[in-house]
Amino acid sequence: MKNYSGHIIFEEGFQWKDLEKYFPDIWDIVESESKVNAEEKQFDDILLELNMEEIRKNKKPFGYRRENSKFRMIFPQNRTELTIYRNTPSEEIEEITEKVAHEIRNKKIKYTIKYDQLISSKLKLKH
């Protein structure tokens, strides 16, 4: 099935610092699927560290929003949720969401998964 977005919604009691040890692996999943080159990878390493600084402070990370990337990972405001999306429907969204969820499941972080929860007009906006 083709989806625009995959949503990992964290259960009550979740804190952003719970992702500290596992966020680099989650980042690598999204980054590798986005097929960045070596120069972009260096920039992404800096972005990863900025995200990690926020997580260590128990704050919501910025996500992966590279303009030319195939996939994006965002953290919607006012929700404890991780969203992976693409501007066009893709069968890969479910696969990537499941890979990320598998990383989290292995770490005993509780969540639910939903698909296509973004409002279509917001989905079309460039991040």
pLDDT in tens, 76-118: 988 999 999 998 889 999 999 999 999 888 677 899 999 998 7
Look-up of token digits 């919604």: 9
Q: What percent of the chain has pLDDT over 90?
A: 62
Q: 24: how many CB neighbours lie within 10 A of its CB?
A: 15
| H or E segment and range at residue 88 | strand 81-90
pLDDT in tens, 115-125: 998 754 354 44
Q: What is the pTM of this model?
A: 0.86
